[in-house]
């Protein structure tokens, strides 16, 4: 269990450093706040009993140190006037100096911790919320993975459930991460934010956290690239009586007011949310962008399985035709819902969903759209068919016996020209902005970013010695920001850090067979 100390100042100016076997202190006391003597003692009594109970729940016995600390506080309180106050000066973490600090306890941070622990590297993990937070709190109720479960290969914990070709639902993903953390007990402080990161003159890094200051020789930033929901400023021109939320806030159709719903954006989230609403009978209006799509299955297998066999997911970013520019590409829309299927927006339109091109402007409750709906649908279909042709070539080249399938035939065509939407006349009462996220690294006070605020790195290694990143989209491969590829990145960085702290791998001597390697 993570321990901590809290320092308090009594009415006579003396400070006392108090111990707690749990971070529960932060739920009862606030740094910088003064409490009436009786209130402070009661809060200390409560939090230390709760902390002791947590120790008992985990280890089978109460924490005697917590009870000793309570006795000291109660004894000290009797030396002060009943009308005096006690001020909480600061929180302190145990062992504030570490070899490595990992910032973020999502799948990337957990993978990093597992690999560091495997190599015996001293480290600590700071998680702003708790394990599984992003999946638990920023996904809708029917959310599920779009990649099959067999691709979930966190270090030392590959998916072992009954549906390797299925798609984990939201609750299953949270459980997978919680079970993963429980499997190796990372040295993690949950509910602790890192508010500033800077490099000191001695080469070490100083981290300001909500639990105090930590110093580390190496830092791995594992917060991903999607921190802050991004909503375009055109939202300011939407009538104030409409409910507007970001896709991260959507939970289900019942959570929205009755009426039509406008969904802006057709990345993976936008298309899946539009489908979710459509299946409940809601009247959906969808702004279609340029995101591509892919078939779910083709010629007897999931398309992901074919692409994996062809090595697409192992391709490093520097070998991709677009190289680093691929990091800005939209993901293909498809779904794992109900066992997995295509998302065909034309089919939805045929069933009553209203499709539009890109949103251009909003005036007095009337929206105007670009005349690019047909182009966007055609391009998405073209990408899907292109992937199929690539699979065809692979099947033919490998001599694989696989069933054949006909090419896709569009089931609906949009009318020509730009469209408009009068929100009031159409009965639209809600707008969901599925317009992505932006990164926020303002708390990192170290010059490692490019002109767009993206970290400059090679496989997660920056030009600042000791500062690393993990979990970024296309950090090294397509899977770097996913369950499928983060393990490789974590092992790579852990090996580098392991070597930098003065240790080397002892490999058995071998005799090179020169015939085994070509040019």
Q: What is the pLDDT along the chain (519 residues), one digit of tens a residue?
A: 688 999 999 999 999 999 999 989 989 999 899 999 999 999 999 999 999 999 999 889 999 999 999 999 999 999 999 999 999 998 888 888 999 999 999 999 999 999 999 999 999 999 999 999 999 999 999 999 999 999 999 999 999 999 999 999 999 999 999 999 999 999 999 989 999 999 999 999 999 999 889 999 999 999 988 889 999 999 999 999 999 999 999 999 999 999 999 999 999 999 999 999 999 999 999 999 999 999 999 999 999 999 999 999 999 999 999 999 998 888 999 999 999 999 999 999 999 999 999 999 999 999 999 999 999 999 999 999 999 999 999 999 999 999 999 999 999 999 987 789 999 999 999 999 999 999 999 999 999 999 989 999 999 999 999 999 999 999 999 999 999 999 999 999 999 999 998 643 333 333 333 333 333
Q: Per residue in 453-484, pLDDT tens?
A: 999 999 999 999 999 999 999 999 999 999 99
In a domain, 283, yes or no: yes
- By residue range, what is the domain housing residue 183? 97-227+439-500
Let me know whether 217 and 241 are in one domain: no
- The DSSP 8-state label assigned to residue 457 in this structure reads -
Domain C-terminal end among 92, 116, 133? 92
Let me know whether 76 and 123 are in one domain: no
For residue 509, what pLDDT is reported? Answer: 35
For residue 516, what pLDDT is reported? Answer: 33
Let me know whether 245 and 391 are in one domain: yes
Cα–Cα separations (whole angstroms), residue 123 to 105, 217, 494, 500, 501: 13, 10, 11, 14, 12
For residue 502, what pLDDT is reported? Answer: 67
In a domain, 511, yes or no: no
Question: What is the number of domains present in the chain?
Answer: 3
Longest C-alpha distance within the chain, in Å?
Answer: 88
What secondary structure, in 3-state letters, does 57-99 show? HHHCCCCHHHHHHHHHHHHHHCCCCCCCEEEEEEEECCCCEEE
In a domain, 417, yes or no: yes
Among 137, 155, 373, CA closest to 246: 137
Let me know whether 372 and 307 are in one domain: yes
For residue 508, what pLDDT is reported? Answer: 35
Rounded CA-CA distance 356/414 in Å is: 9
For residue 515, what pLDDT is reported? Answer: 31
Report the CATH number that the domain containing residue 463 is assigned in CATH.
3.50.50.60
In a domain, 506, yes or no: no
Q: How many Cβ atoms are within 10 Å of 320's Cβ, its own excluded?
A: 17
For residue 226, what pLDDT is reported? Answer: 86
Q: Per residue in 149-171, pLDDT tens?
A: 999 999 999 999 999 999 999 99
Who's near 374: CB < 8 A, 6+ residues apart?
413, 414, 416
- The DSSP 8-state label assigned to residue 312 in this structure reads G
Rounded CA-CA distance 453/172 in Å is: 34
Beta strands 284-287 and 260-264 are: parallel
For residue 309, what pLDDT is reported? Answer: 97
Let me know whether 8 and 81 are in one domain: yes
Let me know whether 143 and 266 are in one domain: no
In a domain, 259, yes or no: yes
In a domain, 103, yes or no: yes
In a domain, 257, yes or no: yes
Let me know whether 426 and 279 are in one domain: yes
Let me know whether 240 and 274 are in one domain: yes
Cα–Cα separations (whole angstroms), residue 325 to 153, 266, 319, 356, 436: 26, 20, 12, 28, 17
Let me know whether 262 and 284 are in one domain: yes
Let me know whether 278 and 131 are in one domain: no
Domain C-terminal end among 382, 414, 436? 436
For residue 246, what pLDDT is reported? Answer: 98
Who's near 390: CB < 8 A, 6+ residues apart?
310
Domain C-terminal end among 92, 112, 143? 92
Dihedral angle sign, alpha carbons of residues 486, 491, 492, 496: positive
Among 288, 433, 489, 265, CA closest to 370: 288
In a domain, 515, yes or no: no
Let me know whether 256 and 388 are in one domain: yes
Cα–Cα separations (whole angstroms), residue 379 to 128, 224, 302, 386, 387: 40, 29, 21, 10, 12
Let me know whether 214 and 110 are in one domain: yes
């Amino acid at each position: 269990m993570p321990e901590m100390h809290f320092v308090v100042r009594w009415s006579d100016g003396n400070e006392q450093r108090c111990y707690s076997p749990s971070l529960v202190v932060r739920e009862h006391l606030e740094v910088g706040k003064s409490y009436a003597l009786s209130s402070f003692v009661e809060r200390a009594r409560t939090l230390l009993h709760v902390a002791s109970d947590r120790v008992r729940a985990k280890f089978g016995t109460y924490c005697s140190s917590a009870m000793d600390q309570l006795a000291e506080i109660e004894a000290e309180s009797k030396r002060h006037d009943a009308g005096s106050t006690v001020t909480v000066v600061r929180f302190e973490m145990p062992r504030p100096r570490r070899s490595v600090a990992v910032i973020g306890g999502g799948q990337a941070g957990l993978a990093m911790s597992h690999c560091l622990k495997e190599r015996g590297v001293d480290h600590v993990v700071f998680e702003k919320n708790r394990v599984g937070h992003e999946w638990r709190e920023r996904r809708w109720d029917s959310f599920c993975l779009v990649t099959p479960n067999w691709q979930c290969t966190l270090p030392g914990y590959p998916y072992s459930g009954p549906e390797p070709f299925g798609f984990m639902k939201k609750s299953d993903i949270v459980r997978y991460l919680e079970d993963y953390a429980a499997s190796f007990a990372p040295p993690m402080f949950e509910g602790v934010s890192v508010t500033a990161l800077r490099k000191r003159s001695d080469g070490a890094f100083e981290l300001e956290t909500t639990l105090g200051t930590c110093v580390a020789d190496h830092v791995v930033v594992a917060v991903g690239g999607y921190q802050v929901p991004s909503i375009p400023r055109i939202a300011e021109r939407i009538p104030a009586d409409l409910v507007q939320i970001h896709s991260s806030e959507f939970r289900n159709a019942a959570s929205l007011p009755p009426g039509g719903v406008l969904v802006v954006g057709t990345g993976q989230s936008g298309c899946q949310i539009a489908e979710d609403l459509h299946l409940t009978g809601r009247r959906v209006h969808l702004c279609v962008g340029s995101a591509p799509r892919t078939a779910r299955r083709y010629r007897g297998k999931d398309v992901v399985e074919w692409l994996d066999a062809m090595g697409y997911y192992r391709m490093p970013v520097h070998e991709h035709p677009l190289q680093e520019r691929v990091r800005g590409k939209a993901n293909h829309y498809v779904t794992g819902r109900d066992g997995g299927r295509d998302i065909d927006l034309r089919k939805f339109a045929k069933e009553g969903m209203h499709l539009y091109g890109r949103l251009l402007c909003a005036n007095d409750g009337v929206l105007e759209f670009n005349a690019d709906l047909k182009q966007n649908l055609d391009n998405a279909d073209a990408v899907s068919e292109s992937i199929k042709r690539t699979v065809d070539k692979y099947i033919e080249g490998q001599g694989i016996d696989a069933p054949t399938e006909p090419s896709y035939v569009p089931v609906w065509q949009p009318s020509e020209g730009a469209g408009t939407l009068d929100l009031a006349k159409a009965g639209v009462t809600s707008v969901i902005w599925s317009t992505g996220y932006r990164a926020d690294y303002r708390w990192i006070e170290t010059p490692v970013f490019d002109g767009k605020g993206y970290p400059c790195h090679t496989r997660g290694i920056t030009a600042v010695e000791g500062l690393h990143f993990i979990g970024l989209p296309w950090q090294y491969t397509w899977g770097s920001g996913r369950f499928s590829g983060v393990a490789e990145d974590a092992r790579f960085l852990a090996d580098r850090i392991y070597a930098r702290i003065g240790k080397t791998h002892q490999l058995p001597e071998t005799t090179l067979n020169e015939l085994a390697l070509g040019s």
